[in-house]
Amino acid sequence: MLQQRTLKSMTRAVGVGVHGGQRVELTLRPAPPDHGIVFRRVDLPQPVAIPLSAEVVSDTRMATTLSPGGDPGAPKVKTVEHLLSACAGLGLDNLTIDLTAEEVPILDGSAASFVYLLQSAGIELQDAPKRFIRVKKTVEVREGEGERLMWAKLEPFEGYKLTFEIEFHHPAVDQTGQRVTFDMGSGNYKREIARARTFGFSKDVDMMRARGLGLGGSMDNVIVVDESKVLNAEGLRYDDEFVKHKILDAIGDMAMAGRPILAAYSAFKSGHALNNRLLRALMADPANYEIVTIEDASRLPRGLSELAPAW
């Protein structure tokens, strides 16, 4: 039987939110079987808990934001996608995530710091079967036409792989890889995807800051691109870091399902909003999917069945 996973011990980090710029303490705690991944705002007079589901996503501008019941007026947890991507990359099922402010810390702008934190705490198997969402029918969402066309879809697949294509029409981005397929079953998430950082364009900085966004961003946690080149002195971590970060984000956005997915995800110019629409479309019809357990772990690729080693 493929078992659920949690942490062996508690672990902490302190950082700032990339958009709000506010200092935040992050505490990751083990949780019992069938608990799921739950965010908690512990800075509020009455702590607020937000379990994962597609319906709790209340804002997708620049990042994925959650609030109880998806109520935009309720307490929020912002920029969850990099941490959730790391959790999915390591196959974690049960975790309590405590925050002392409304935004998950950006750390280095990728998922690598979260992977390090989680693996340093250790990952533990639990006495309960791991439950997957197996996609049975193709589900697709589309937006725009012609040059503005974007789409994302999930198709039946015995495993979990992601294909993403970007199109920015920008010299610095165009000279890198525009399309990547990554199979989570390879077990190479940490090496091939986790280190891809978020990116932004210098021309947008003033506009974003006027809207209260990007206040915690710097070249320590964002790839910054001007009209023609990457401004970060160290350059890119991968030749195709831009599109790999979009896959990293998509893994985090799909983790909002609350259970690991067995499917092939593919997308063209998608983002947090379209990813959430895709997940909602999947879950809207019970005929689209089934909840399954895996009795024989050898039926799945090793990256989905083997326990990640301690860092």
Q: In this predicted model, what pLDDT tens digit does every residue of 173-229 receive, in sequence order?
A: 998 999 999 999 999 999 999 999 999 888 887 777 777 766 778 888 999 999 889
Question: Which of 24-33, 85-94, 301-310 comes out lowest in average pLDDT?
Answer: 301-310
| pLDDT > 70? residue 251 | yes
Please, what is the average pLDDT of the chain?
94
User: Which candidate in 19, 82, 245, 272 is catalytic?
Assistant: 272
Distance CA(141)–CA(276), nearest Å, equals: 10
pLDDT of residue 308: 66
Distance CA(194)–CA(181), nearest Å, equals: 14
Read off the pLDDT band of 15 (50, 70, 90): very high
pLDDT of residue 140: 98
- pTM of this structure: 0.96
pLDDT of residue 310: 52
pLDDT of residue 265: 98
On whether the CB atoms of residues 151 and 140 are closer than 8 A, the answer is: yes
- Judge whether 245 counts as a catalytic residue: no
| pLDDT > 60? residue 128 | yes
Read off the pLDDT band of 37 (50, 70, 90): very high
pLDDT of residue 213: 67
pLDDT of residue 202: 85
Distance CA(305)–CA(273), nearest Å, equals: 30
pLDDT of residue 297: 85
Whole-angstrom CA distances from 264 to 4, 57, 155, 184, 299 are 22, 22, 5, 10, 17
